[in-house]
Structure 1
Amino acid sequence: MQSYVFLLPILALLTLGAMTPGPSFLLVAQTAMSHSRTQAFSVALGMGTGALIFALLASFGLVTLFETVPELYLTFKLLGGLYLCVLACRIWKQGEQPRVQAVAAGKTQSVHSSFFYGLTTQLSNPKTAMVFSSVFAALLPAEVPSLTPVLLSLGVFLTNFGWYAIVAVLLSTERAQNLYLKAKKGFCRVAGTLLGLFGAKLLMSTSADL
């Protein structure tokens, strides 16, 4: 396994990137505090799966495809920006729900829909694939063992899922949920606004590229 040691700094760098607050972190945090630990884990699993998909695509030349067909990249950015804006509106509206209604809504949301939210949020930003590809290109040696794409993608999944699972555990405690209920409206406003800004940034960058 010593021949794969070069993967460690790549995974460490990408893990630091995942730990940077963004749409993925906001969704896991909001789910953990307003719903249940199981649903937050499902979101985290969706995040990890989305990262795995992007890592696999990056390993097999997604950037080359984007450069060859720029319209495809612009379409990804447009759809991703729209999705984040819709998600922002949904979280903003949750701030208007009474506490009892919000808790009840959290209990009825399925783990499948939570997984889907995590997956689509992770996949909503094609720049993630660009970051993966850039890091791979910069840090991978010229000659790599044959299993490198598989092991690298698996490592990306484990580090992303692991980080968001930690967030889910820490923020799904009774104390965290009580604090959330007290400040639910403000938290939903902040989370919704930030997600909306992320979505608007994608849309604006798409317009600039047209």
Structure 2
Amino acid sequence: MNEITLLMTLATVHFVALMSPGPDFALVVQNATKYGRQTGFYIALGLSFGILVHSIFSLTGVSYIIHQHPTLFALVQCAGGLYLLYLGVGALRSVISRWAAKNDPTVINNDDRLLLANRRQAFSRGFTTNILNPKALVFFISLMSSLVPATMSIPGKISALLILWALSLVWFSFLAWALSTKKLQQRLLSVSIYIDSLCGFLFSGIGLIILYQVTVSL
């Protein structure tokens, strides 16, 4: 295949992967619904830069080296699993606090709303969630090795990186924008406690699965 065909195939595969539900998708849904469009955009920006770093690491062989060394890969898995578990437990604690405050006015609601009080925190959460995802590391090793061969020209490789970054930013930004339109956000806010519950279980479940896989592989 010529480089244009390879890049088109790369874009298609990556876009399909982006639309698949996972930690990145859940993070945008949860926070764009709760905090609004600007926070959702900066989370999307953080996620897209995490994907860019994964792509660069895969293209330069760094990710392959990590994946081929069990100890290094186990450390990445542990870090990713623990971070997702941290996000999950935090979301579930917030849900419990909100339910308690809803049923008993004397209970103080310890919602985590202030945890994403600025752009830097939103960007950091998006970036960290993606860069510590060991499944993303493996995915991009496979994607880049099969669709961005070593013989591809430098402009072609740069185009591949830009395509992966731009598609990620556009998709997650669109998702954040769509979820934070006034009417939809009002509806979603009314069920935000259920969204937080679902995201909390999703983050916790994926985090525990990753940690379990580490213990089995040791």
Fold-level match, TM-score > 0.5? yes
Is 1:105 the counterpart of 2:130? The answer is no
The alignment's C-alpha RMSD in Å is 2.3
1:35 and 1:106 in contact (8 A); partners too = no
Question: Aligned pairs, how many?
Answer: 208
Change (3 A) 1:35 1:102: farther
- After superposition, what is the alpha-carbon deviation per residue over 1:112-168, rounded to whole angstroms, capped at 9, x for unaligned? 100000000111212212111212222335621123332211111111111101110
Aligned match for 1:165, one of 169, 173, 196: 173
Letter in 1 for 2:37: R
Q: 2:199 aligns to what?
A: 191
Indicate the percent of aligned positions where both proteins have the same amino acid: 25
**Distance change >3 Å, CA 6–CA 160, structure 1 → 2:** same
Query: Is 1:181–2:189 an aligned residue pair?
Result: yes
Give the structure-2-normalised TM-score: 0.87
Give deviations 1:12-53, integer Å, cap 9, x for gaps.
Answer: 101111110111111101111100201100000000000000
Tell me: CA distance 1:79–1:58, structure 2 relative to 1, closer, same or farther (3 Å).
same
* Alignment partners' CA distance in 1, 2:12 and 2:138: 17
Judge which range, 41-50 or 4-13, deviates more: 4-13
Distance 1:157 1:140 in 2: 15
What residue in structure 2 maps to residue 89 of structure 1?
Answer: 89
Local SS of the residue matching 2:154: coil
Contact 1:47 1:122 in 2 (8 A): yes
| TM-score, normalization by structure 1 | 0.90
User: In 2, are the aligned partners of 1:34 and 1:106 still within 8 Å (CA)?
Assistant: no
**Structure 2 runs not aligned, ≥5 long:** 103-108
In the aligned structure 1, how far is the partner of 2:180 from the partner of 2:110?
15
Look up the equivalent residue of 2:159 and give its one-letter code.
Answer: L
2:146 aligned residue (106, 113, 138):
138
Cross-structure match for 1:7: 7
Amino acid at match of 2:23: P
Contact 2:77 2:214 in 1 (8 A): yes
Opposite residue 209 of structure 1, the aligned amino acid is: S
Structure 2 counterpart of 1:154, one-letter code: L
The 5 A counterparts of 1:64-79 are 64-79=64-79
Given residue 53 of structure 1, which amino acid in structure 2 is its aligned partner? Answer: V
List gaps (5 residues or longer) in structure 1: none
Q: Quick one: which of 98, 121, 124 aligns to 1:116?
A: 124
